[in-house]
Every structure is written in C-alpha cells, then in structure tokens.
Amino acid sequence: MAHDAPQQTGPSKLVIRNIGLLLSGAMEKPILDADTVVAENGRITGIGRAKDLNTEGATTIVDTNGTKSIRNGVQRTVNPGDILYVPPGVPHHFTDMKGFRAWLMRFDTIGLVRSKPEPLQAPVAAAPAPAGRGRGGAAAPPVPDLPIYETAFWTNADIQKRWKDNEANKRINSRLYNGPANISGNVRIVLDGDAPATHEDTADLWLVTAGTAIARTDGEIVQSNGASTIRNGVQRTVHPGDLLYVPPGVPHHFTDMKGFRALLIRYDVVGWVQVPSAAQ
C-alpha cells in the first residue's frame, strides 16, 4: 500500500481509497457499493464511492491498490488444534501468518433434501468395556447446531478439556456441533475391544491428534470364535496429523492404541440431493 502520512497535531482526516471489495458483515447486504472510507478524528464519517465523498483536506491517505477488506468483523488468533467453522456467505480470511498451515474441509450446508427415507437406527449390542472405562457414562454437554450467520470457533484447549471430561465421566463421545446432512464434529474416545462397524449412509473422517493405533479397514466383517473381525482388510498404523476417510458400508475399527486420540467428522454422503434455490 502507498501512504501519504504528514505529521499532524490537530484534527485528523483519514481517507482509505481504491478498496477492491468492502464487506459489510451483514447477511442481507454483504457487499457494499464502495471503494472508499473516510474517517475524521478517529470516527468513520463516510463509506461509498470516492466521487460521492468529501475527501478534501485529508491528513492521511491510504491507497489499498484494489485490495479487499472486512468491516465490523471478528478477529481471533488461531493456533494448532483449533477449529474454525465458516457458514456460507460469511466473510473470512487470514492475516499475520507465521508458519500457518491448516486442513480445509469444504461441504454444502444449504439446499439439501433427502432423496431416500432416513435409515432406521437399529440398536447395536456393545462389547464389554475394559476395566476402568465405560460406555455412555455421564450425559454429554448440550450440542449446538452449526450457526447460519456467523462463524463458530473451538480452541484446542476447549477440545482437550472435552477429552479429559469424557475420560473422567467414562463417556465415549461428545459432539462439538450438529449440522445439515447429519454432519457432526465428535470428540471420540475409542475403546480397546471396539468391534468392527459399518455405516449405511454415513462417512467418517478421522483426524488423528495424538498417539498411535492400527486402523483396520476394508474387507468384510465375519465372525471368528464368537467375535467380529475383519477379513481381507487393510491395516495401517496411524499417527498424529494423519487423515483416514471411511466411506459408507466399509468396515473399520482401531486396535493396539497407545495414547490414541482423534477427532471424528461424520456426515451423510448418500441419500441427499441439492435443490437449487429459486434465485439460481
């Protein structure tokens, strides 16, 4: 950016010009018809086109050379392990990056209509839990729906606290959020001895955050010596930072866990169609 910044000790007038895109932060009118912002004595006095604003007598001029800006937004410092959710239509970008890397998972959340009846959830017999660990346990915290008009944010500290709370209350799962098409973010405790499972319409995306385990997938579930096992499957050792995608109908479970923790993102990938809105 080019700056003209004379020293001033009296009244000030700032003109920011040549803004490429100015976002309002309001869903009803997210993009402003503006390329200039005027502020006098620290307060915004005008937003619009340069030709329509009084820009005379500026003490400071900032030329953005067509860059974009967000007005009335929220700023958060994000760190490894944090989760940021951005709904459709909500402005977002990252600045001041220092070695920043992030996984981006993108999915539709609007216009989804079921194309087949919702599958019945038959009760599943649970394998006995090992000593000192249980299934179910204390009730999980309330699960919020994903917001529509603003972002949602979970810090790594929040998620680690949830894991410890799950373990202390012998709770195998607590959801961070619910969303369309059965999407959910889950802080999941995987138990030793968990039997292989499949899901009819739902995919699992596992993001390993700590420890190691052997992921046993694919193949088919069979009975052996009175227990379920996977035949002709694939075995992989998973580590922190690894991603494992399990499609609907594919057997999967984890064994040989050593301090293993993973976030589970679950969502339907069949049984839905996207219907265009009338405006499209």
Residue 9 has pLDDT above 70, yes or no: no
Residue indicated by tokens 């410890």:
164
Residue 79 has pLDDT above 50, yes or no: yes
**C-alpha to C-alpha distance for 95 and 115, rounded to whole angstroms:** 41
- Structure confidence at residue 137 (pLDDT): 59
* Domains, the chain, with CATH or none: 2-70 (2.30.40.10), 83-273 (2.60.120.10)
Q: Residues 123-131: contacts with CB within 8 Å, 24+ apart?
A: 124/197, 127/191, 127/193, 127/194, 127/195, 128/193, 129/170, 129/191, 129/193, 130/191, 130/192, 130/193
**Residue bearing the bigger pLDDT, 101 or 124:** 101
**Residue bearing the bigger pLDDT, 251 or 43:** 251
- Res. 277 pLDDT band, cuts 50 70 90: low
- Structure confidence at residue 78 (pLDDT): 96
Percent with pLDDT over 70 in the chain: 85
- Structure confidence at residue 5 (pLDDT): 45
Residue 274 has pLDDT above 80, yes or no: no
Residue 12 has pLDDT above 80, yes or no: yes
